[in-house]
Structure 1
């Protein structure tokens, strides 16, 4: 079955369907079944809308901010050893994600500070 025509609401040929489905209408498609010799008109409608937040996939070369308390000297030294840099303005450590992936430091990543593939 081939789809030959995809119409958005408001285009010619969608008026009655816009009246029927309103803002829920996304597309009207005409599909052709050559083996049966028929044309099908289908609609794509929204049946549910919920809030959704996409997950951010972090790559090994991405720079992430890590929360480490001032008293945790061993953690600070560990971050330094893998190339981490302290930013005194935001009071966070910035480090490439790769060396901390799968460690307890991964759980300390600050979600609001993220730099895709940038230098420290």
Structure 2
């Protein structure tokens, strides 16, 4: 049904054509869209509303290009070899391995990321 429709107008709350809906839905109203169905030759007015709001704990921010620090014990030779293979660099001052976050996301190494 939606693939036959074209959205022609996208209105924010308070604009002309949304006042009655703002009165009905208040702060829950996000937007109003006018959709046109050429097959059925009808115009539809759709709305987007907020139905639930709850806290969302944010994960630590590490962008794909960010370098993170990993702590690996000296005795973990296999893990150190794996880090070298993915291009990690040893930081002798901090005594941590520096590696791009994208190289460790989704692996067992992700749990070893150190907060700086």
Return the structure number with greater relative CO, CA threshold 8 A, min gap 6.
Answer: 1
Q: Does 1:9 align with 2:35?
A: no
Q: Distance in 1 between matches of 2:91 and 2:80?
A: 12
* Residue ranges of structure 1 left out of the alignment (5+ in a row): 114-120
Q: Indicate the residue corresponding to 2:91 in structure 1.
A: 86
- Alignment RMSD (CA, Å): 3.4
TM-score scaled to structure 2, two decimals?
Answer: 0.65
TM-score scaled to structure 1, two decimals?
Answer: 0.63
* Residue ranges of structure 2 left out of the alignment (5+ in a row): none
Whichever structure has more helix as a proportion of its residues is 2
Q: Is the 8 A contact 1:84 1:95 kept in 2?
A: yes
Q: Distance in 2 between matches of 1:5 and 1:42?
A: 10
Q: Indicate the residue corresponding to 1:116 in structure 2.
A: none
Q: Deviations over 1:67-91 (max 9, x none)?
A: 34xxx32248927x724322646x6
SS in 1 for 2:75: helix
2:47 to 43, 48, 56: 43
